[in-house]
Amino acid sequence: MSTAALLSARIAPPTAAAARRRDGASLLTLNAGSSSIKFALFAADGPQLGIVGQIEGIGATAAFHAHSVDGRIDEHHAWQDGHGPIDHADALTWIIAWLAQKQPGLDVVAVGHRVVHGGLAYAAPVLIDDDVVNRLAQLEPLAPLHQPHNLAGVAAARAAFGRVPQVACFDTAFHRDHPFVNDTFALPRELYDAGVRRYGFHGLSYEYIALRLRESFPMHVAGRVLVAHLGNGASMCAMRDGRSVASTMGFSALDGLPMGTRCGQLDPGVLLYLMQHEGMRPEQIAELLYKRSGLKGLSGGLSHDMRTLEAAGTREADEAIDYFVFRIKREIGGLAAALEGLDAVVFTGGIGENSARIRARVLQGMAWLGIELDEARNRAGDTVISSTRSRVLCLRIPTDEEGMIARHTLEVAFEGARA
C-alpha cells in the first residue's frame, strides 16, 4: 500500500466541532503550480501556522524546502535529475510522508486548495465534491498553466485523505463584483453572457492585503487603494473600501502586466498574424504566450527570475526590466483614473516584497499623483516606504495566500461547528 493510502486509512473523517477541537488536529493548505506544490500546515483551532514548504521542479530536477515557525525544522533536499517526484500525486505523497515523520500522529481534518479559476459559478470558497471537480475541469482552457495542476493537487489530496473535507478557494472570487465596464470586452453581448469576460486573478493575495489594511490602515482601506502583486505572475488591482473594482488581468492569466514567462497585454492582431501568416497552431501559440514570453522572452531567454535579471547587467536583461517597470507605471495611471484618485499604493508578491530597486523605479516620477518615496525606508524594506510629505501612502506588505486559504477552509469545512 502507498504511503498516501496508509495515511488515509489512519485519518477518520471529522465531524463538526469535534474534529476541529481534537488535540493536535491540523489543517493542510495546498497551492499546486505547473511544476510545484506549496504546502502549509496550520493548527485547526487557530489557525496558527506550524510548517510551510514546497516541492519545486516536479518531473525534472526536484527540490524540497520546508521550515517550521518555531525554528525546530529547517530542511532542504534536492533530487538528482529525474529521480524526484514525477507528478503532483507523487509529490504530495512525499510531502504527507515527510509531515507524518516530522509530526507524529498527523491528524489532518481539512484540506484547503488554491484554485485559480472559479468561472461564473464560484464567487466564494466551496466544499469540493465530484460535481465541483468536473465543473472546474471545464475551465482548464482559461488557465492552462494553473487549473490542471490545481485539480491534480485536489485529486491527490482526495486520494490521500479520503473523506476529510476539502475546500476550493478561488483566485477569481475577489473580483466578481466588478462594475460592468470593468468586467466586459467590446464583443457581442452573447459572448459576455456565455462567460467571455474579465475575471481577474491573484484574488486570495488581494483579499489578504485588504484584510491587513483594515487592521492597520483603516482610514486608507476605506478610500482608493492600488495593490501591485508582482511576482512570476503579476497583476494590479484597484480597490475601494477593500473591494476590487478593476484589475489588470482579464479573461485569462495572460492579460495585463508582463510576467515571468507570460506576455501580458497583447494586440489580438498578433495572434491572427501568427496563425494566418506564420502557420502556428493553437498549442504552439499557447506555449509561446505562456512559457516563452514575458521577462524570459524579453531577456533573450536568459531568465524569468527578476533576481537573475537584476544581477545580469546585459542589455537584454535591462530592457526586460525597463519594459516591466514601464507597464506597471502605465497601469498605475489607468487604475488611478478608474478610482478617480489615489490614497495608497501597496507592493506585494515575490518581486514587490523583495526588490527595492523595482519599487523605486516604479514610483520614480510619480509626484504628479502625489507620491514621494522615502529611499532609506524603501531600501530597508519597511512597511511604510513613502516620505512624510507624500500625499499617497506607499506600503510594502508581504502577502499570505496560504493564510487566506486556511481561514476560508475553516469557515466552509466546519460551518456551524463552533457550537
Q: Is residue 48 part of a domain?
A: yes
The DSSP code sequence of 234-255 is -EEEEEETTEEEEES--SSTTS
Q: Is residue 373 part of a domain?
A: yes
Q: Is residue 179 part of a domain?
A: no
Q: Cβ of 408: how many Cβ atoms within 10 Å?
A: 22
Residue 357 shares a structural domain with residue 233: yes
Q: Is residue 411 part of a domain?
A: no
Residue 393 shares a structural domain with residue 247: yes
Residue 148 shares a structural domain with residue 45: yes
Residue 64 shares a structural domain with residue 139: yes
Residue 134 shares a structural domain with residue 264: no
Residue 277 shares a structural domain with residue 371: yes
pLDDT of residue 35: 77
> Tens of pLDDT along 340-374?
999 999 999 999 999 999 999 999 999 999 999 99
CB 144 within 8 A of CB 290: yes
Residue 7 shares a structural domain with residue 151: yes
Residue 166 shares a structural domain with residue 223: no
Q: Is residue 119 part of a domain?
A: yes
The pTM for the full model equals 0.90
Residue 245 shares a structural domain with residue 162: no
Q: How many domains does the chain have?
A: 2
Residues of the chain with pLDDT under 70: 1-21, 23, 416-419
Domain membership of residue 115 as a residue range: 3-170
pLDDT of residue 20: 56
The letter for the amino acid at 5 is A
- H/E stretch holding 90 reads helix 88-102
Residue 229 shares a structural domain with residue 158: no
Q: Give the CATH number of the domain where residue 88 resides.
A: 3.30.420.40
Residues 6 or more apart whose Cβ sits within 8 Å of residue 382:
374, 396
pLDDT of residue 19: 59
Q: Is residue 66 part of a domain?
A: yes
Residue 165 shares a structural domain with residue 242: no
pLDDT of residue 408: 96
Query: ∠111-143-93 over CA atoms, to 5°?
Result: 35
Give me the active site residues, please: 171
Query: ∠139-171-123 over CA atoms, to 5°?
Result: 75
Q: Is residue 214 part of a domain?
A: no
Q: Is residue 18 part of a domain?
A: yes
Residue 341 shares a structural domain with residue 228: yes
